[in-house]
Amino acid sequence: MNHTDDYFYLGMITKIHGNNGNVTAFLDVDNPLEYQSLDMVFLDINNALIPHFIESIKILNNKAILSFEGINDIEKAGALVKAELFLPLSLLPKLSGNQFYYHEVEGFTIVDEQFGEIGLLKEIFDYPNQSVMQVFHKEKEVLIPVNDDIITKVDRNKKTIHVKAPEGLIEIYLNA
């Protein structure tokens, strides 16, 4: 089941914490402290997103100790272990300037300083050491690294991303 259209992955409940229903979750986000005032989170239970209200949340590094309403013993808490946590996209902190979430720029036009308009951004592949933008120019795939030196401007109004591709990169793909 694909939740990613309206929700983003926040993390996963990793274990029970204590014996009164609390759980520990790993938060897979850049800045966990941005989520310390959450009052609700969606848990993926049998491929359905079920809202759970948070009574208390303590964040330490990338771990959160959560106490949920109605979960007050080890059995109930144990049933939540390995459940993934999701939040609606509307709760993502807004990014500005050249910072962006991958889902928000799909379909943007990629324009290179030298080459000009390359094409539409189809997808961003998040590889371990480097994320790349997949762009098609007349049906030929062009992969452009996502990094601050290459992305010169993100224009949300015009839905364009301006890049300064490394010399020869675009040609490699188009002449292949």
State residue 4's pLDDT score.
Answer: 54
**Helix ranges restricted to H, the chain:** 74-78, 102-105, 169-174
Q: What single-letter DSSP state applies at residue 160?
A: E
What's the pLDDT at 2? 47
Which pLDDT value is given to residue 29?
85
pLDDT score, position 100: 82
| pLDDT value, residue 82 | 96
Residue 1: per-residue pLDDT: 41
Topology given in CATH for the domain delimited by 102-174: SH3 type barrels. (2.30.30)
Task: List, for the chain, all residue ranges whose pLDDT scores fall below the cut of 70.
Answer: 1-4
pLDDT at 139: 92
Say what the alpha-carbon torsion angle 103, 111, 95, 61 is, to the nearest 10 degrees. 70
Q: How far apart are CA 16 and CA 22, in angstroms?
A: 6
pLDDT value of position 103: 81
Hey, where are the domains in the chain?
7-91, 102-174
- Fold of the domain spanning 7-91: Elongation Factor Tu (Ef-tu); domain 3 (2.40.30)
User: pLDDT by residue (tens digit) across 126-137?
Assistant: 888 888 999 999
